[in-house]
Amino acid sequence: MAKGKTTVYFCQSCGYESSKWMGQCPGCREWNTFVEEIVDKKSSAKTTGSRETAKIVTLKQIEMSKQQRLRTQIQEFDRVLGGGIVPGSLVLVGGDPGIGKSTLLLQVCQKLSQISRKVLYISGEESLQQIKIRSERIGTFSDSLTLLCETNLADIKNVIQREKPEIVIIDSIQTMYSEEISSAPGSVSQVREATASFMQIAKGMGITVFIVGHVTKEGVVAGPRVLEHMVDTVLYFEGDRHAAYRILRGVKNRFGSTNEIGVFEMCGDGLREVQNPSEYMLNGKPKGASGSIVACSIEGTRPILLEIQALVCHSSFGIPRRTAAGADLNRVNLLMAVLEKRQGLPMSSSDAYVNIAGGIRMTEPAIDLGIVLALVSSYQDKAISDKTICFGEVGLSGEVRAVNMVQQRVQEAEKLGFEKCILPKVCLDSVKEIKGIQLIGVADVREAIRCIGS
């Protein structure tokens, strides 16, 4: 090994550095995440010398300037960002391969270029011809969009400093490399160094930088976990590659609310916004079928109505089979145990299959009541009225507990034509009277089951 270089081990999950390999990371407690890398100590050594002393200020000395957000004309994208793009922010966009990350950002570039914003799209994976083919499918672009195919970090920084664009797209961060680091592109050191360089560009020059990041098989952004801590906003592009819809979810946002979602539909000419996700998710709901009910969940500030389906049948084997698509399987097993203990239904000897129609995944506890009523409906083979909607968290004692944003849930249900709403009894006082929909408060699961039977 060359003089001045040494071997270190990095944790791919959290970036923990060690001089030797370890089976379990002391930082994040993950197993088998350490990778070997060669680090040049000379290049990473701190420079000594006189530096200007940093100045400290008080809160009163800081002058507030209202940041003017830049709207992309894609409402679902702006919603997830908190109202638009904040100048000088660093945004990480992650998602599975082929889910549509590059297509979405290219459409953002199209909208921004049409309003004469200077945009630089830097691709480390696709050639200029491949980007041209995709752009022809999306639509027309103006000359304010410029393209660059480069992976060398030093060359990219020189181009950005020379051209001074307003928005920069990096596709993807795993392909960027610095010659000062001897490890391969995509390694922990390279990804961390590249992200730090783009963060300095964003904050120092006031340029908004979008970074595309690959995800692992567990669904998290590949590379060190510190990558998500360095950026201002983290967006995940989710959805089944074989389904028509895609969900853009904000899991971190320093300039807006978190857990906002934007819904898109994959079409031949790119991604199209879904303005009313509730109506979109309920398309094709069967009428008069048992084991089906509509529940209301909240994603960020938006209520979304979704159909919960359940199929309960007698098990032919000693161990019943349980499957959940779109819901937490452990939560489904818990709710079935509540039904058996509090309601006396013999669920332990039955196979159960729970599905949230449309392929969407929801983990909010407010859909507990919908899962319970769908299971009971399928077990008794009695259909629930198509005009009935429900929401509420179910406890281990069978009680129906309160949820938040009740008024918004009821208003969304009334807007889509539902006539009866089953909700927690403790939430009735917080709901203003809404004409056209009957509110039924229930204190436990037993009362809720009587409501769907009447």
Q: Which tokens belong to 75?
A: 């409402």
Based on the fold, state whether residues 232 and 86 are members of the same structural domain: yes
pLDDT on residue 355: 94
Separation CA 353–CA 310 (nearest Å) = 6
Sign of the dihedral defined by the CA atoms of residues 5, 226, 196, 52, in that order = negative
**Two tokens, residue 250:** 């904000």
Which class for 318: exposed (0-12), middle (13-18), buried (19 or more C-beta within 10 A)? exposed
State whether 365 and 316 are in the same domain. yes
The residues, any chain, with a CB within 8 Å of residue 90's CB and separated by 6 or more, are: 195, 198, 199, 202, 203, 208, 209, 211, 230, 231, 232, 233
**Whole domain around residue 344: which residue ranges?**
280-453
Residues facing residue 295 across a β-bridge:
306, 390
DSSP assigned state of 70? B
Tokens 């969407």 locate to 360
Indicate whether 168 and 266 sit together in one domain: yes
Supply the CATH number for residue 376's domain.
3.30.230.10
pLDDT digits (tens, 9 = 90+) for 393-427: 999 999 999 999 999 999 999 999 999 999 999 99
Which of helix, strand or coil describes residue 93? Answer: strand
Return d(Cα 419, Cα 37) in angstroms, integer: 63
Pairing type for strands 34-40 and 400-401 reads unpaired
The tokens for 326 are: 């779109």
In a domain, 65, yes or no: no
Report pLDDT for 67.
66
- Averaged pLDDT score across all residues of the chain: 87
Identify whether 409 is part of a domain. yes
Q: Which residue ranges make up the annotated binding site?
A: 95-102
The amino acid present at 261, given as its one-letter code, is I
104 shares its domain with 250: yes
Q: Give pLDDT tens digits along the chain (454 positions).
A: 555 567 888 887 777 888 889 999 888 888 888 888 776 655 544 444 445 677 888 988 887 766 688 999 899 999 999 889 999 999 999 888 888 899 999 999 999 999 989 999 999 988 999 999 989 989 888 899 999 999 999 999 999 999 999 999 999 898 999 888 877 788 788 888 899 999 999 999 999 999 998 876 665 665 666 688 889 999 988 877 677 788 898 889 998 877 788 889 888 888 999 888 888 888 888 888 899 999 999 987 789 999 999 999 988 888 899 999 989 999 999 999 999 999 889 888 899 999 998 778 888 999 999 999 999 999 999 999 999 999 999 999 999 999 999 999 999 999 999 999 999 999 998 888 888 899 999 999 999 999 887 5
Asked whether residue 162 falls in the same domain as residue 113, the answer is: yes
**Residue 181 identity:** I
**Are both 184 and 205 inside the same structural domain?**
yes
- Clarify whether residues 258 and 293 are in a common domain: no
* DSSP-assigned beta bridge partners for residue 440: 422
Tens-digit pLDDT profile for residues 336-362: 999 999 988 988 889 999 999 877 888
Specify whether the backbone of 406 is left (phi greater than 0), alpha (psi in -120 to 50) or beta: alpha
Distance, CA of 104 to CA of 108 (rounded, Å): 6
Question: What integer pLDDT is reported at residue 46 of this predicted model?
Answer: 47
- Contact in structure between 17 and 10 (CB atoms under 8 Å): yes
Within-domain flag for 424:
yes
Total number of domains in the chain: 3
**What pTM was computed for the model?**
0.78
How far CA 284 is from CA of 279, 280, 287, in Å, comes to: 10, 9, 9
Q: How many CB atoms lie within 10 A of CB 434?
A: 15
Is residue 123 one of the residues assigned to a domain? yes
Task: Enumerate the known binding-site residues for ATP.
Answer: 95-102
Among residues 256, 275, 294, the one where a domain terminates is 275
Confirm whether 48 is domain-assigned. Answer: no
Report pLDDT digits (tens) over 378-391. 999 999 999 999 99
In this structure, the answer to whether residues 258 and 388 fall within a common structural domain is no
Q: Let me know whether 296 and 270 are in one domain.
A: no
The amino acid present at 77, given as its one-letter code, is F
- 154 and 220 share a domain? yes
